[in-house]
Structure 1
Amino acid sequence: MARRILVVLALVAFVVSAGFAQVAEKVDTAVISKIKDEGLNRSQVMEVLSYLTDVYGPRLNASPEYKEGAEWVAKKLASWGLQNIHFEKCAPVSKGWTLKRFALNTVDPQPFPIIGYPKAWSPGVKGTVTGEAILFDAKSEAELEEFKGKLKGKFVLVSDERDVPAHFEAEGKRLTDSELLRLANAAPQAGGARRFRGMPDFSRMTPAARDSAQRAMIREFAPDADSARIARFLSQMRGGGGQNVLPRKLEMCLKEGALVVFDVGRGDGGNLIVQSATVPPPAGAVQGQRVTAYDPKVPQVVPQVTLAAEHYNRLVRMMKKDQKVKLEMILDVAWTQADSSFNVIAEIPGTDLKDEIVLLGGHFDTWHGGTGATDNSSGSAACMEAVRIIQTLGLQPRRTIRIGLWAAEEEGIIGSREYVTRHYAAREGAGGGFPMGGGAGELKKKPDFDKFSVYLNHDNGTGKIRGVYLQGNEAARPIFRAWLEPFASLGASTLTIQNTSGTDHLSFDAVGLPGFQFIQDPIEYNERTHHYTMDLYERAQADDMKQAATIMAAFAYNAAMRDGKFPRKPEAAPRPARTGTN
C-alpha cells in the first residue's frame, strides 16, 4: 500500500512538474545580461534625447519641425540597420504652425516684461501692437452685455485671478514601497475600466448629470487630478460661474476687434502649461462638439496667449486698483500648407516568425512651449535606444520587432488609433469626437489582426520603469513576472491588474490587442514638465532613461522569441450604443 502511494505521489509530482515546465515563461538570461550591459554601460539614449529636444524640438503636430525631426529619426534608424523605414500618413489634416517671435511688456504705468506663451495655432499680429488692458470678467450672458463696445483694440484678460499656493512638499517624487504595494494589491476595475465611446451628448443632460460626465471625462485624461483641481478647471471653463461663457467671450473679442486674449496659465514660478488656441463652436453645433484650431476650415479666431499666473494676477490687481495698464506685444507666427499628419515606422526583421509583429512605441509629437523633453521625447528616445541595443548586439528575433512613433497623440491619440484601424481592426461606429474611444459595435478585423503579438508603450515622462499596468489581462501576469525578474535590482518588479489611460496603448487595447503602458516613477511629471514651457532636456534623468530603454529592449526581445504570441483578453461582446444621459 505504501509503495502504491509512493508511486502515485511520484506520478503526481511528475505531472505537476511537467505542467509547470509547459507554462513557465522562458527567458534567455544570457541575452538579457548582454542587453543590460549594452543599455546601462554604453547607452546613447541621452544623446538621442538631446537631438530630439535641442535640435528637433519642439515638434507640434503637422509643423515643419515635426517633419524635420522625423527625417532625422529615419536617418538615425537607418544608420543602425533598421529596415522598411517609412512615414504613414494619418488624420488629421492640419495647418502647419510655427512661432517665429514673441515679446510682451507693460508700457504704463510701470514697464516690465511679462512671462507668457502664445497658444498653438493662434493667429499672429502685424508688427508691434500697443493698447490698454481690460478685465473681461463677465460670468453670465447678462454680464456679457455690459462689455459690448469696450473691447476694440484692447488686450483682453478673460480669466479670474488664480490662487498660487506655496510648495510645502517636494515636487520630485518616486513611487514608494507602499504606493507600489497598493498597485499590486488593487482589484480589477469594474467592467474592465470604462472607456468613452464617442462624445457624450451634454445637451440632453441635466446640469447635475452634465457636471458628473464632465468630471469623469477629465479623470480619463488626468487620473491623478483631485476634486479641487477638477473643480477649478471646470470653473475656469465656465467663466468662474455656472455658465460656460468663455466661447461667447472669444466671439465678442473677435467681432469687436480685440488685439489679443489672455488667459491665466496653470503652473507657477514662470513655468506654465500652454496648449491649443480655443475655437468657439460654430452656430448650430451640438453642445460638446469639438472644434480644433488646426483644422484648415476653422473660422478665424482671435490671437490667444497664456500668461504666467503671477504676472496675470498682477495685471488683474493693478486694474482693480484703477490703474490704466498699457501693454505692447510682438506675436509673429508662420503658417504652412495644410497636410496630413504621419507616423514614423521602422523594423528589425524577424526570422521564422517574421510575419508576426512585436511593436514598441510612443508619441512623437509635442506641444510647442518647451521642447517636449519628458512628453514625449523621452519615450521616443527610449524606444529608439531599445532597437539600437538589439541591433548593436546582433540579435536575431524570431518575430519582427517594429517601432512606431505616433503623430497627433496630443490632439487625441489619433496617430496610433488610425494605425490600428488601418492595419488591425476597428469597431463599428468608430470615430466619435472623444479621443479615448471608438465605436461600440462589432469588431471588424483586418487580416493582420491575428499576426499581432503585443504593443509596449512609453509615455509617462522620464521616470524609471517600476512595473507594468496589466490592463485587465491576467494572462500577462506570469509572463511579465518572468521578464521583470532580471530587473528587480533596478527597481522594476510591480504588476497591477489595473488600467492606465491617456496614451497610445489604448488604441490597441480598445480592439482587443495586447497593449501595455509601464508603471513609471513620476519624478516631476505632473508638477513641472507635462505640457509645461520648461519641459527641456535638463528635466530628463539619465539613469532612469537608461533603465527604461534597457527594459524596453529586453521586453521586445522576449516577446519576439516566445513560442506563442502574447495572450489576449477574452474578446468583449459588442455593446449597445449609448442613448441615455449618463
Structure 2
Amino acid sequence: MLKVRYLILSLFLIASFNLAVAQSTDTDSVVEQIVNQVEENSHLEELAHHLLDVIGPRLVGTPQQQHAHDWAVEKFAEWGIEARNEQYGEWRGWERGITHVDMVYPRVVSLEAMQLAWSPSTPAEGVTAGLVIIPEVEDRSEFEDWLPNVEGKFVMISMHQPTGRPGYNWDEWATEESKEAMQQTIAENTRNWRSRMQNTGLNTRSYIEALEEAGAAGIVISNWSQGFGTNRIFGANTSEIPTIDVLLEDYGMLYRLVENGHEPEIRVRTESEDLGMVPTFNTIAEIPGTEKPDEYIILSAHYDSWDGGTGATDNGTGSITMMEVARILSEVYPNPKRTILVGLWGGEEQGLNGSRAFVEDNPEIVDGVQALFNQDNGTGRVVSIQGEGFIHSYEYFTRWLSAVPSGVTDHIETNFPGMPSGGGTDHASFVAAGAPAFMMRSLSWDYWNYTWHTNRDTYDKIVFDDVKNNVKLIATLAYMASEDPETFDRERRVMPIDPRTGEQREWPQQRSPNRSGGN
C-alpha cells in the first residue's frame, strides 16, 4: 500500500513538473512571438502617421476627434478585433481654421501665433488694431478709469519674460553672477506682474469680461513652456472676442514696442467655426475571454489631445501603443483566458471625463478588472511601476514581470504597494473605484518642457525605439495577467495620517464626469 502511495505521489509530482514545464514553454513561445512582432512587423510608424499627420490634433468636440474614433474602429476591424464607439456625453463642438497674425506696423512680419481652443473667428478680412498692456494701477477704481483705453485694441495680459533661454542653458553657460542676477530678475518680474493683475481687483475671468465689455478687439497672451520656441497652447477661450497665444519671441518684441511708445499694430485673421453641442465618445475594442470572460485586462490610454500641436506624446504614443498591443495579442494570443479590452478614452484633458464615465456606466466590468495598464505622459520607455496601494501587487507583478525580456525590465524601478497616484490620468478613474489599475511611467525626454500641451507636440518628437519597448512590456504583462491562475486580490493599504490635520487620509473617490460641457 505504501508503495502505491509513493507511486501516486511520484506520478503527481511528475505531472505537476511537466505541466509547469509546458506552461513555461508556452509562455516563452508567446513572449518570443510578441518580441518578433514588435521587431519584424511593427505597425507603430504607420499608426502614428495616420493618427498625427493625417487626422491631426484631437480636441474634444472637434471633427478630428470623431475622425480618430471612427478610424480606430476601422483599424481594429482590419485586425479582426471587434470595436465600437460608446457615447458618454456631449461637449461644445468647434473646429479650428486658419489663424494668421501679422505685425503690420512699424514693420511687416508674420508672427508665430495660434488662437486658443473654442475662440471665435474674426470677420473674413481680419481685424487690424494696436495693442495695449495691462497697466500698473493701485486699485480697481483706477483700473476701471483706465478701461476706455482698450476700445478697439488688442490687450496684452501676459508677463514679458526677461529671457527666452531655458533654465538648463543658464545652468550650462552662464557665470554664477549672471545666473543669479537673471533668477532675481525673473522672480521680481513675476512678483510685480502678479501684483499688477491683483490690483485690478478682478480674477482672470472677470477682468477678461471687463476688457470685452470695454470694447477690446481681442486678448493676446503668451504661455511659455520654458523651452526654446515652445508655448503651452492649451487654454480655452471664455469670451466672445478672439484670444491669441503668441510665441515668447514675438510676444516679447510686441511688448517692448508698446512699452517704448512705437505703437505697433497687428492684423489677426481666424477662421474657426462653432459647431454647437456634439456627442463625445470612447473607443472600446474587445478580444473575448475563453475561460474567464467576465474578468478583464484593460489596455488604457486617453485618445484626445489639445490642439496646439498634433498630440503626439500626449497622448498619441500611448494610444498607438495600446492599439499595437491589441493587434499583436490578437495574432499571437487570439483566445485569451480573460477578456482583453482596449479603452481609448475621450475628454481626459477636461477632467478624465471619458474614463470616469466608463467606470460609472460599467460597474460589472470594473468589478471584473484583473489589471489595467495605462500609458500617458510622453514617448519615453517605461521606467517606473508602482502598486497604487494594492497590498498584494508585488506578488502579481513579480510573476508578470518575470516573463518580460530583461532588456525591457533592466531600467524599470518598482514600488510596491505604493500609494494611489491621484487624478493625473485615466487609471485614476479605476483606482478610485477599487479596481487594480496601474500607470506605466515613462522616461521624460523633456516632456514637461517641450511637448506637454505645446505647439511642438508633433510626430518628429516620437522615439519609436522606446515606444516599441513599451509595446513589448505591456503586451507581455497583459498576457501574463490574463493567464494568471489567481484573480487579483484588491486588498488596499491603510492610508497614512495627514500631518497637517492629524486625520487619516482617505482613498481617492470616483467623481461623476462632466458629461456635458463647454467654455
**TM-score bucket (shorter structure):** 0.7 to 0.9
Alignment-derived partner of residue 441 in structure 2 = 519
Give the counterpart letter for 1:495 in structure 2. Answer: T
Q: Is the CA contact 2:156–2:220 (under 8 Å) kept in the aligned structure 1?
A: yes
Alignment partner of 2:380 out of 463, 487, 492: 463
Residue 115 of structure 1 pairs with residue 112 of structure 2: yes
Alignment partner of 1:493 out of 412, 436, 439: 412
Shift of the alpha carbon at 1:241? Answer: 4.1
Alignment-derived partner of residue 440 in structure 1 = none
Alignment-derived partner of residue 208 in structure 2 = 250
Shift of the alpha carbon at 1:471? Answer: 1.2
Alpha-carbon distance change, 278 to 495 in structure 1, aligned in 2, over 3 angstroms: same
Structure 2 CA distance for aligned equivalents of residues 27 and 479 of structure 1: 19
Q: Is the CA contact 1:135–1:158 (under 8 Å) kept in the aligned structure 2?
A: yes
SS of structure 2 residue aligned to 1:518 = strand
What CA deviation, in whole Å up to 9, does each residue of 1:228-273 have, x standing for no partner?
9999999978765476542232112211221110112223433211
Q: TM-score, normalization: structure 2?
A: 0.81
Residue 124 of structure 1 pairs with residue 121 of structure 2: yes
Alignment partner of 1:315 out of 248, 254, 279: 254
Residue 473 of structure 1 pairs with residue 471 of structure 2: no
Structure 1 CA distance for aligned equivalents of residues 475 and 56 of structure 2: 25
Residue 266 of structure 1 pairs with residue 224 of structure 2: yes
Give the counterpart letter for 2:91 in structure 1. Answer: S
Q: Is the CA contact 2:162–2:186 (under 8 Å) kept in the aligned structure 1?
A: no
Shift of the alpha carbon at 1:460? Answer: 1.7
Alignment-derived partner of residue 140 in structure 2 = 141
Residue 406 of structure 1 pairs with residue 345 of structure 2: yes
Alpha-carbon distance change, 230 to 474 in structure 1, aligned in 2, over 3 angstroms: farther
SS of structure 2 residue aligned to 1:67 = helix
Structure 1 CA distance for aligned equivalents of residues 154 and 276 of structure 2: 29
Give the counterpart letter for 1:352 in structure 2. Answer: E
Alignment-derived partner of residue 55 in structure 1 = 54
Shift of the alpha carbon at 1:302? Answer: 2.4
Q: Is the CA contact 1:359–1:456 (under 8 Å) kept in the aligned structure 2?
A: yes
* Amino-acid identity (%): 27
Q: How does 1:204-223 map to 2 (within 5 A)?
A: none
Alpha-carbon distance change, 568 to 238 in structure 1, aligned in 2, over 3 angstroms: farther
Can you give the 5+ residue segments of structure 2 that lack an aligned partner in the other structure? 1-12, 171-184, 496-504, 510-519
Shift of the alpha carbon at 1:575? Answer: 6.0
Structure 1 CA distance for aligned equivalents of residues 210 and 107 of structure 2: 29
Structure 2 CA distance for aligned equivalents of residues 481 and 80 of structure 1: 31
Shift of the alpha carbon at 1:170? Answer: 8.1
Residue 74 of structure 1 pairs with residue 73 of structure 2: yes
Q: CA RMSD in A?
A: 3.2
Alignment-derived partner of residue 218 in structure 1 = none
Give the counterpart letter for 1:561 in structure 2. Answer: E
Shift of the alpha carbon at 1:487? Answer: 3.0
Can you give the 5+ residue segments of structure 1 that lack an aligned partner in the other structure? 1-13, 172-227, 280-299, 425-446
Give the counterpart letter for 1:549 in structure 2. Answer: V
Structure 1 CA distance for aligned equivalents of residues 427 and 189 of structure 2: 29
Shift of the alpha carbon at 1:98? Answer: 1.3
Shift of the alpha carbon at 1:356? Answer: 1.3
Structure 2 CA distance for aligned equivalents of residues 235 and 278 of structure 1: 25
Alpha-carbon distance change, 115 to 339 in structure 1, aligned in 2, over 3 angstroms: same
What CA deviation, in whole Å up to 9, does each residue of 1:319-377 have, x standing for no partner?
11111111111111012231231100010111011121111111000111110000001
Structure 2 CA distance for aligned equivalents of residues 112 and 255 of structure 1: 30
SS of structure 1 residue aligned to 2:224 = coil
Alignment-derived partner of residue 282 in structure 1 = none
Q: How does 1:260-299 map to 2 (within 5 A)?
A: 260-267=218-225, 268-279=227-238
Alignment-derived partner of residue 96 in structure 2 = 99
Structure 1 CA distance for aligned equivalents of residues 414 and 263 of structure 2: 58
Alpha-carbon distance change, 76 to 158 in structure 1, aligned in 2, over 3 angstroms: same
Alignment-derived partner of residue 419 in structure 1 = 358
Alignment-derived partner of residue 88 in structure 1 = 86
Give the counterpart letter for 1:387 in structure 2. Answer: A
SS of structure 2 residue aligned to 1:549 = helix
Q: Is the CA contact 2:391–2:493 (under 8 Å) kept in the aligned structure 1?
A: no
Alignment-derived partner of residue 296 in structure 2 = 357
Structure 2 CA distance for aligned equivalents of residues 160 and 533 of structure 1: 19
Alpha-carbon distance change, 475 to 575 in structure 1, aligned in 2, over 3 angstroms: closer
Give the counterpart letter for 2:236 in structure 1. Answer: A
Shift of the alpha carbon at 1:476? Answer: 1.1
What CA deviation, in whole Å up to 9, does each residue of 1:12-66 have, x standing for no partner?
xx9xxx9xx9xx9999233212212212332111211111100111111021111
Q: How many pairs does the alignment contain? A: 459
Residue 347 of structure 1 pairs with residue 286 of structure 2: yes
Residue 507 of structure 1 pairs with residue 429 of structure 2: yes
Q: Is the CA contact 1:512–1:569 (under 8 Å) kept in the aligned structure 2?
A: no
Alpha-carbon distance change, 364 to 235 in structure 1, aligned in 2, over 3 angstroms: farther
Residue 329 of structure 1 pairs with residue 248 of structure 2: no
Alignment-derived partner of residue 178 in structure 2 = none
Q: Is the CA contact 2:391–2:492 (under 8 Å) kept in the aligned structure 1?
A: no
Q: Is the CA contact 1:27–1:482 (under 8 Å) kept in the aligned structure 2?
A: no
Q: How does 1:424-573 map to 2 (within 5 A)?
A: 424=363, 447-485=364-402, 486-490=404-408, 491-496=410-415, 497-501=418-422, 502-570=424-492
Structure 1 CA distance for aligned equivalents of residues 151 and 262 of structure 2: 19
More helix by share: 2
Q: Is the CA contact 2:166–2:228 (under 8 Å) kept in the aligned structure 1?
A: no
Give the counterpart letter for 1:527 in structure 2. Answer: N
Alpha-carbon distance change, 328 to 558 in structure 1, aligned in 2, over 3 angstroms: same
Structure 1 CA distance for aligned equivalents of residues 253 and 475 of structure 2: 50
Alpha-carbon distance change, 233 to 553 in structure 1, aligned in 2, over 3 angstroms: farther
Q: Is the CA contact 2:85–2:283 (under 8 Å) kept in the aligned structure 1?
A: yes
SS of structure 2 residue aligned to 1:150 = helix
Q: Is the CA contact 1:25–1:482 (under 8 Å) kept in the aligned structure 2?
A: no
Shift of the alpha carbon at 1:449? Answer: 4.2
Alpha-carbon distance change, 575 to 464 in structure 1, aligned in 2, over 3 angstroms: closer
Q: Is the CA contact 2:158–2:221 (under 8 Å) kept in the aligned structure 1?
A: yes
